Amino acid sequence: MTTPTSTAVPAATRRAVLLQGNEAVAEGAIAAGARFFAGYPITPSTEIAEVLSRRLPEVGGTFIQMEDEIAGIAAVCGASLAGTKALTATSGPGFSLMQEMIGFATMAQIPCVVVDVMRGGPSTGLPTEPAQGDVMQARWGTHGEHSVIALVPSSVEECYTLTVEAFNLSEQYRTPVIILSDALIGHMREAVVLPEPGTLRIAERGTPDCEPDEYDTVTSTLDNILPRPPLGSPFRVHVTGLVYNRRSGAPDTSDPAAAADLGRYLREKIYHHRDAIVRVEEVEMHGAEVAIFAYGSVARSAMAVVRKLRAEGVPVGLVRPITLWPFPTLAVDRMAEQVRTVIVPEMNIRQMSWEVQAAVRGRAKVIDYGRVDGKLITPDEILELVKPEFYYHSWEDA
């Protein structure tokens, strides 16, 4: 699967609308073919539920407000198993509650989308303020060895396009996909041009190309991940969170070889396709001596700094992961070979900068900068981090 860094839709087919990030997620889900939402209200994600409670019935879908977030993602797993594309949306404490069933969806290979609109934490924390403190929870929040796909939108338009992309990836790799939005992106309004319906690539769930009695004898490979037939079909599938035999689907907790086969497969089915999954935007990296590695709303401030400094002739570039998990190791590798310094501003304390450091492997200096007060990292703050790296530059006008 080729993944361009921006949606290649001809300008003539585009229409501009004023949307909030959360609304864009909801509309993106509908465009992706999602017809089921179950969740629980929580700031700052609630608008996603509100919009979908109105929009889903209009398009023949189902909205259910469940008794808690655990039930929300559980119902999403059920709807997906019954053959319907499904999503849930939450924030902070709700994302913590969902980890159990994210693990179930991972183990049982259930396609679904989980939107986490990040807010300050831990616990109730700063309910209305943006943060990026869940990036490691998205990776490792559920117990046990597993892989995950997580996407980070930096704009309202990306809230829309990445939601479509999240559904495509979840169907293709039969795995939950997490969208890491935040309180800023979720509540911000921007005029965005949305792709016309019909111009987006939409991955549909296929049906296995075999007879029901043959289904137990065919096995997915890394390059051919077979779709699971819906519940209530002649295939009479068994779905379980126990370790199972990958061929028959039957639980098998006594054979270490079966456990190893499943465990490695669940990891490799994502990592084997890492180059196809990972999307990174590189801005002004040509000739850059210093790179800013920033994602989500912080990347907006970083972008402003890069534009300003490039206009002054200062060789600074931006590496913006759109896919946070799997980690964009190749892009960081390229960056490490080129620049002498990498600056990692994030609304947490060193969560991704540790990953960057590990991938840079000493080839460049890594400067981390974190805020956990619910306030945005401004372009001026990032500029102050860049300045010492160009001590020979005349900064009077900056």
The single residue among 240, 256, 349, 380 that binds other proteins, judged by CB under 8 A, is 240
To the nearest whole angstrom, how small is the minimum distance from the Cβ of residue 232 to other proteins?
Answer: 4
- Residue the block writes with tokens 């450091």: 357
The angle formed by the CA atoms of residues 72, 51 and 162, to the nearest 5 degrees, is 80
To the nearest whole angstrom, how small is the minimum distance from the Cβ of residue 249 to other proteins?
Answer: 10
83 binds other proteins (CB under 8 A): yes
Residues of span 354-383 touching other proteins by CB under 8 A = none
Greatest Cα pair distance in the chain: 76
Residue range at the interface with other proteins (CB under 8 A); choices 74-82, 267-275, 284-292, 346-354: 74-82
- x/- map, 20-59, other proteins, by CB under 8 A: ---------------xx-x---------------x--xx-
Total residue length of the chain: 398
Structure tokens, 150: 């997580």
Instruction: Tally Cβ neighbours within 10 Å of residue 313.
Output: 7
State the Cα–Cα distance between residues 308 and 140, nearest whole angstrom: 37
77 binds other proteins (CB under 8 A): yes
**Per rule CB under 8 A, count of chain residues that contact other proteins:** 47
The single residue among 125, 127, 227, 230 that binds other proteins, judged by CB under 8 A, is 230
- Residue the block writes with tokens 């137990």: 216
Q: CB nearer to other proteins: give 241 or 374.
A: 241
Residues of span 102-131 touching other proteins by CB under 8 A = 103-104
State the Cα–Cα distance between residues 305 and 98, nearest whole angstrom: 37
Q: What is the DSSP letter of 95?
A: H
The single residue among 4, 10, 198, 234 that binds other proteins, judged by CB under 8 A, is 234
Write b or e for each residue in 254-290: b if 16 or more Cβ atoms lie within 10 A of its Cβ, otherwise e: eeeebbebbeebbeebbebbbeebbbbbbbbbeebeb
Footprint of other proteins on this chain (CB under 8 A)?
Answer: 35-36, 38, 54, 57-58, 60-62, 64, 66-68, 70-72, 74-84, 86, 100-101, 103-104, 230-242, 250-251
